Amino acid sequence: MIHISEYKPENRRAVIDLILHIQNNEFGIPITEDQQPDLQDIQRFYQHGDGNFWISLHQDTIVGTISLLDIGNGESALRKMFVRSEFRGQEYGVSSSLLHHALSFARSNGVERIYLGTTAQFLAAHRFYEKNGFVEIAQSRLPVSFPIMAVDSRFYMYAF
């Protein structure tokens, strides 16, 4: 069974290891832990206002992550959505569960729009976001407060 829970500091190393493995080894994105300062203090960076960070667990192993960053004005940035390769797809439904959990949280907190940035090579992610109601937008339509990562080249928005 898959269980979603809020991030706790004791999850830090396992979260970082999962994210770096997917970024570096699966997608060949040469990004380090040090280049992602949000991972140094997940609680302070994400878990305030209309933001939060969740993990998906299979037994006691973290198999997925997702976060919402409160960027003000009833808007959030969807970040750090990563799922271990063997848990992707409909069999486990980890991606869908994480996304629906974050959307439900946002809706209940009065968030009006969620934005996200992703890389061009995450083709399956593009299809997944579009299937779940996100629409591609030009970078110029992002709010000024949206944190653009250097690797981001495609942007999406979800409106409630």
The closest alpha carbon to 80, from 160, 7, 2, belongs to 7
CB atoms within 10 A of CB 102: 24
Q: Name the pTM for this structure.
A: 0.95
pLDDT at res. 154? 97
pLDDT band at 149 (very low <50, low <70, confident <90, very high): confident
Domains in the chain, number: 1
Which single residue is written with the structure tokens 């080249």? Answer: 153
pLDDT at res. 124? 87
pLDDT by residue (tens digit) across 55-71? Answer: 999 999 999 999 999 99
The CATH number of the domain where 80 resides is what? 3.40.630.30
pLDDT at res. 30? 87
Cα–Cα distance for residue pair 133/52, rounded to 1 Å? 21
Domain ranges, residue 47: 2-159
> Mean pLDDT for the chain?
95
Q: Which residues pair with 154 in a beta bridge?
A: 118
Question: pLDDT at residue 150 above 90?
Answer: no
Question: pLDDT at residue 11 above 90?
Answer: yes
